[in-house]
Amino acid sequence: MKAFIVFTSLLALGLCAEELCYKDTHRSCNSVSSKLVPGTPNCNAKYGAIDFMQPELQQYANQLLYRSFDFLLMSTYFGNYVKNRPGFEKLYRKYSDNLWNDGIELIKYLDVRGGSMDFKNFPRNLVEEENTGAEAKPKPGPNWDLSEYLSLSKALDLEKDLAGDVFDIHLHADDHTEGHYDAEIAHHMEKEFVDKHRDIVRSLAGYTKDLGEMLDTADASLAVYLFDELLQSGKY
């Protein structure tokens, strides 16, 4: 009886499915060729709307890696002998490392879902930044007088942009139209990114507000020094 049920289930599986791994392997096993892989295109980890969402996930991974270098440049700028702000250097190095790790993890996630990574698939805003040059988006360096206060506001804007991109990906993955909906991608973005960006945005907003109030004193240079000491201590 059990054997009959199993046989019936397999038969139904073969008849009802047009694009299944079982059907591919069955066809390949019955062919004269001994090369099974080319004849089994559906034996992969893809399901849901990964094909629809893959380009956007690739763009976000590239965005994370790119912004990681932005924060690394900011960290290096405040770590030189001229600025000598070890607290700001530590803060931006931490953000840089976090974004780099997030980008690598997202690339691994694409592989888990059966997708692939395209390092040339950049989001439009990064392409526009590169095309418009340094005039539109200056980089930290000798020609960019980046103060501690301005750097916090720049960091806050960058993190808000990244948080907004997560919302866009979640919105598209939660589109309940055929071929677009993917609950697992939406869940993954919530679990790995939403809370993290919320906390970072909150911290940077607090830093910006507190330093702004500290600068509104008779000795602004002392205020910046004390603020950097707080960042360096890791207790703030």
* Known binding-site residue numbers: 159
Question: What is the distance between the alpha carbons of residues 228 and 11, in angstroms, rounded to a whole number?
Answer: 70
Phi, psi of 141 (to 5 degrees): 170, -170
Using DSSP's 3-state secondary structure scheme, residue 46 falls into coil
Binding residues for Fe cation: 159
User: Can you list the alpha helix ranges (DSSP code H) found in the chain?
Assistant: 2-16, 21-29, 50-79, 86-112, 124-132, 148-173, 183-189, 195-215, 220-233
- Taking CA 93 as the corner, what is the angle to CA 88 and CA 94, rounded to the nearest 5 degrees? 100
Question: What is the distance between the alpha carbons of residues 54 and 46, in angstroms, rounded to a whole number?
Answer: 11
Q: Are 109 and 188 in contact (CB under 8 A)?
A: yes
Question: What is the distance between the alpha carbons of residues 220 and 236, in angstroms, rounded to a whole number?
Answer: 19
Q: Are 43 and 21 in contact (CB under 8 A)?
A: yes
Question: What is the distance between the alpha carbons of residues 46 and 53, in angstroms, rounded to a whole number?
Answer: 11
